[in-house]
Structure 1
Amino acid sequence: MTMLRALMVSLFLAPQAFACDLALALAVDVSGSVDSEEYRIQMDGLAAGLRDPIVSEALVRGQARLMLVQWTGSSRQRITIPWTRIDSFATLDDFAERVAADPRVWRNFSTAIGEALEMTVTSFDEVSECKRHLIDLSGDGISNEGIEPSTIHAKLRESGITVNAIAIEESEPDLTAYFFENVIVGEGAFVVSAAGFADYPERIRKKLLREVTQQTAGLSQTQP
């Protein structure tokens, strides 16, 4: 009895493993419609959004896993920063620095959103311990190459992965509606609209705030 009691006490006092609340894949559009300045706006804006005090607090407290993906045309998708455990503010700041400094992989190719989703979904096997699985896709155009995004929806649902999107309507005024109908999927999935790349940093910050501080719930929706 004494040994059993000692074992129970030791288990009770042992440090508890931190649970991962969110695995978040950040998928950034680097297709031909995105020029060098617009690419820089995206990466700097994303890095700044991750450093937002509320966003960073939620990511660290939730022991989140973050990953960066660059995507463009068919067969051109790459994980440029692999899954990283955000277990401190220093780790988060390092990840944000890597995002801001991430060199562009491709230029002057088409837009294959379906293939970007298909490639990214397989990476979530590495973070199966996380409570929520989410792809945050940014884009400034409709999918015009490769498989249709909607064909990946069944696989995403089966894997328990939600896809949210930010529609950068620089040259596609109906892009938000297209993303709503064809790209986002999952409980509580939503689209945020940016009028153009100049609007992107503030919109991605608000999008991250919503994603990391709230449980996904309710119907899919658009957000101006």
Structure 2
Amino acid sequence: MGWFRSVLVSLALFGVSVGSMPARAQTEVDLALVIAVDVSASMDADEQELQREGYAEAFRDPLVQKAIRDGVIGRIAVTYMEWSGWRDQWVVLPWTVLDNPEGILAFADQIARVPVHRERSTSISGAVDRASQLIAASGLAATRRVIDVSGDGSNNDGRPVTAARDEAVAKGLVVNGLPIMLKPPSYAYFTPDLERYYRDCVIGGQGAFLVPARERTQFQAAIRLKILREVSNAPEGLPLRVIPAQSPEVHIDCATGKRQ
């Protein structure tokens, strides 16, 4: 698996697409989006399957496809990245321009084929840093640049998550979150108040928000809402909470993962 990820990373760095249209230098898009998904040890196979299928189904959704085409430019660029420890990030699907239903569905199918695997540690800071690098090296001229972080635990590896978040925001990036809270409090990797942790410590930038996923039945709807909001900035009528970033007040210990 390691050599396969290395090949994918190399393809991504050179702007080569796997089975779809690649982003090229100075391509103008409404949105440059890094989907950064947690594959750390706390994410069991069932959660990973839900996470992967949730993102695939989001791009299959007609409302999401319409929102992409209805943008000012009418196209976005997306890359799909997995992460765990601070040294462990893998670009599974490189930058891909989405501007028509066929290409969007092909991208969704590629997400659905991503194999499930697990790695050690949880470094949200490493994920944000790597996503920021991917955006900087993309060659895209994007109206909005967003890092979409989903995960089920707090930062316990690498530098402080707030430092990574603040550096990304200073570059004009937006960090949004999908805290996954499906496990019972008795679970060994359980993080209390994960929703508040993401709100205070992870998300940031103009218009940043999080969508909590507390039940398996809501999981795909939460991801759909998150992608739709990122693409269109105005997804109304979905029965889930969208929680905006609240700063500068911080109500939780952002180093809780390291202490655990």
TM-score range, shorter chain: 0.7 to 0.9
Q: Which runs of 5+ in 2 are unaligned?
A: 1-25, 184-190, 235-243, 247-260
Q: Does 1:140 align with 2:164?
A: no
Q: Structure 1: which 4+ aligned runs deviate by more than 3 Å?
A: none
In the TM superposition, what is the alpha-carbon distance from 1:63 to its structure 2 partner? Answer: 0.8
Using the alignment, how far apart are the partners of 1:97 and 1:29 within structure 2? 19
How far apart are the structure 2 equivalents of 1:159 and 1:45? Answer: 29
**Percent of aligned positions with the same letter in both sequences?**
35
Amino acid in structure 2 at the alignment position of 1:220: A
Which has a greater percent of helix? 1
Partner of 1:39: 48
Separation in 2, partners of 1:197, 1:81: 25
The aligned residue for residue 245 of structure 2 is 220
Per-residue CA deviation, residues 32-74 of structure 1 (Å, 9 max, x unaligned), is 1111121111111111011111111122343100110101112
Counterpart for residue 81 of structure 1: 93
Distance 2:216 2:85 in 1: 20
Q: How does 1:194-213 map to 2 (within 5 A)?
A: 194-213=213-232
Give the distance between the partners of 2:230 and 2:130, measured in 1 at CA: 21
* Structure 2 match to 1:63: 75
Alignment of structure 1 residues 162-181 onto 2, 5 Å: 162-171=174-183, 172-181=191-200
How far the C-alpha of 1:170 sits from its partner, in A, is 2.0
Distance of 1:39 and 1:89 partners within structure 2: 26
- Say yes or no: does 1:190 pair with 2:209: yes
Contact 2:36 2:149 in 1 (8 A): yes
Q: Which of these two proteins has the greater Rg computed from alpha carbons?
A: 1
- Structure 1 residues without counterparts, runs of 5 or longer: 1-16
Q: TM-score, normalization: structure 1?
A: 0.84
C-alpha deviations, 1:118-153, integer Å up to 9, x for none? Answer: 011011121440110001110111111111111113
Question: Given the alignment of the two structures, is residue 92 of structure 1 paired with residue 112 of structure 2, yes or no?
Answer: no
Number of aligned residue pairs: give it: 202
For the aligned residues, what is the CA RMSD?
2.0
